[in-house]
């Protein structure tokens, strides 16, 4: 069969029942269904496939005779996606199979996007609802810490307060992570974004000897983006860098144009911290993955950063050597900015 030659993985069945068994066990990407089958009508088999959760969304192409138009009508009514007439022309069959596979893949991707957006909205709403009563709990617990005299009671209140703060940090991180990307893009300067991110992140390491070696390339073309979100990317990366240098070190920031891509700009942030092991490198962008034990680190910083960069059609890379340090490199596309 030509489909096999085209390197499709094809399985065939001699009758309706074995066709159903193969389809439900193997879950193919597409089914070719002959209308005339030993012991069953293809249209009945088609209805059974379309009513089964495992094959409900599988495209079905009926193979039918030109002289039986009622089969085509019944087959389409039973849920078939398309039909092809005998004698089957190989080229037509290949074209139809490829088209239906492509359509089905696009539909699958759209369903995934919709699921992701609904989940995002649900999480954002839930975080908002949790945050309001939590703020009250935190306020009251803070008040209690000043009121209770007994040290045992104070210890309990402090523990409750710290746990509530931990929930608050988690809720905030989850909200940042799930928040749908809505703001309109504006013209931004990558250098200005980096400078602002350093200014904000450095508030977190006050008193520690961390120096900034800034090598921002002058005259970079502007990018189109959400300035605040992009700032968040670099705040997350720079904060991580500062946290892996508890005794101080240097954070080097470089911006420029990639040699291999004349439609982009990049920013690289290098630290002189402990580095990341090969095993951990594969996990650092996973949501909720952290090696930090303090309550403020739910392990979302880099997953949020990557999501934002990808929403800007960019990408983020990391290179690290244990004991020496780590470099995060963010590449973003420059866009044609019209002035009209």
Ligand X SMILES: Nc1ncnc2c1ncn2[C@@H]1O[C@H](COP(=O)(O)OP(=O)(O)OP(=O)(O)O)[C@@H](O)[C@H]1O
User: Quick one: tokens of 339?
Assistant: 């002035």
276 binds ligand X per the rule CB under 6 A: yes
Here's the x/- map for ligand X, 117-156, by CB under 6 A: it reads as ----------------------------------------
DSSP 67-96: T-HHHHHHHHHTT--EEEEESPPHHHHHHH
Residue 136 main-chain phi, psi, to 5 deg: -65, -45
Q: Which of 58, 231, 232, 240 binds Mg ion (CB under 5 A)?
A: 240
Using CB under 5 A, count the residues that bind Mg ion.
2
CB 59 within 8 A of CB 103: yes
173 binds ligand X per the rule CB under 6 A: yes
Indicate the residue among 74 and 272 with the shorter CB distance to ligand X.
272
Q: Of these partners, Mg ion, ligand X, none, which one is at the site of residue 299 (CB under 5 to 8 Å by kind)? A: ligand X
Per-residue buried b or exposed e for 254-277, using 16+ beta carbons within 10 Å of the residue's own CB: bbebeeeeeebbbbbbbbbbbbbe
CB 292 within 8 A of CB 246: no
Q: Which of 65, 99, 291, 313 binds ligand X (CB under 6 A)?
A: 291
Here's the x/- map for Mg ion, 192-231, by CB under 5 A: it reads as ----------------------------------------
The Cα–Cα gap between 40 and 32 comes to 15
270 binds ligand X per the rule CB under 6 A: no
Q: Which of 16, 75, 264, 298 binds ligand X (CB under 6 A)?
A: 298
Residue 219 main-chain phi, psi, to 5 deg: 70, 25
Q: Of these partners, ligand X, Mg ion, none, which one is at the site of residue 197 (CB under 5 to 8 Å by kind)? A: none
Q: Of these partners, ligand X, Mg ion, none, which one is at the site of residue 173 (CB under 5 to 8 Å by kind)? A: ligand X
The CB-of-326 to ligand X minimum distance in angstroms stands at: 4
284 binds ligand X per the rule CB under 6 A: yes
Please give the residues from 311 up to 330 whose contact with ligand X meets the rule CB under 6 A.
326
Using CB under 6 A, count the residues that bind ligand X.
22
Q: Decide the pairing of beta strands 210-215 and 315-321.
A: unpaired
For residue 271, give every residue at least 6 positions away whose Cβ sits within 8 Å of its Cβ, in sequence order, or none: 241, 242, 244, 245, 249, 250, 251, 252, 325, 326, 327
The CB-of-231 to ligand X minimum distance in angstroms stands at: 15
Paired strand residues for 249: 210
Q: What are 114-119's contacts with CB under 8 Å, separation 24+?
A: 117/180, 119/178
Q: Decide the pairing of beta strands 315-321 and 325-333.
A: antiparallel
244 binds ligand X per the rule CB under 6 A: yes
301 binds Mg ion per the rule CB under 5 A: yes
Indicate the residue among 173 and 308 with the shorter CB distance to ligand X.
173
Task: By CB under 6 A, name the binding residues for ligand X.
Answer: 173, 236, 240-241, 244, 271, 273, 276, 284, 289-292, 296-303, 326
């Amino acid at each position: 069969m030509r489909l096999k030659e085209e390197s499709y993985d094809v399985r065939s069945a001699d009758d309706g029942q074995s066709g159903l068994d193969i389809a439900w066990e193997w879950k193919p990407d597409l089914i070719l269904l002959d209308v005339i089958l030993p012991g069953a009508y293809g249209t009945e088999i088609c209805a059974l496939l379309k009513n089964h959760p495992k094959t409900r969304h599988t495209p079905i192409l009926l193979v039918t005779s030109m002289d039986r138009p009622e089969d085509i009508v019944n087959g389409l009514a039973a849920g078939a996606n398309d039909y092809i007439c005998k004698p089957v022309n190989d080229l037509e069959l290949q074209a139809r199979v490829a088209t239906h596979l492509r359509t089905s893949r696009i539909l699958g991707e759209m369903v995934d996007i919709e699921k992701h957006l609904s989940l995002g909205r649900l999480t954002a709403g839930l975080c908002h609802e949790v945050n309001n009563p939590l703020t009250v709990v935190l306020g009251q617990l803070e008040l209690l810490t000043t009121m209770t005299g007994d040290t045992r009671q104070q210890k309990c209140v402090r523990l409750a307060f710290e746990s509530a703060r931990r929930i608050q940090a988690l809720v905030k991180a989850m909200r940042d992570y799930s928040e749908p990307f809505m703001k309109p893009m504006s013209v931004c300067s990558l250098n200005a974004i980096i400078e602002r991110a350093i200014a904000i992140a450095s508030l977190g390491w006050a008193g520690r000897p961390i120096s900034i070696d800034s090598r921002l390339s002058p005259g970079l073309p502007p990018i189109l983006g959400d300035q605040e979100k992009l700032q968040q990317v670099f705040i997350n990366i720079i904060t991580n860098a500062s946290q892996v240098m508890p005794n101080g070190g240097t954070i080097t920031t470089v911006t420029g144009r990639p040699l291999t891509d004349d439609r982009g700009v990049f920013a690289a942030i290098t630290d002189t911290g402990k580095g990341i092991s090969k095993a951990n490198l594969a996990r650092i962008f996973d949501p909720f993955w952290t090696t930090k034990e303090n309550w403020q680190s739910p392990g979302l910083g880099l997953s949020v950063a990557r999501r934002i960069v990808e929403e800007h059609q960019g990408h983020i890379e990391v290179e690290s050597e244990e004991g020496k340090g780590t470099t995060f490199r963010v590449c973003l596309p420059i866009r044609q900015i019209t002035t009209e």
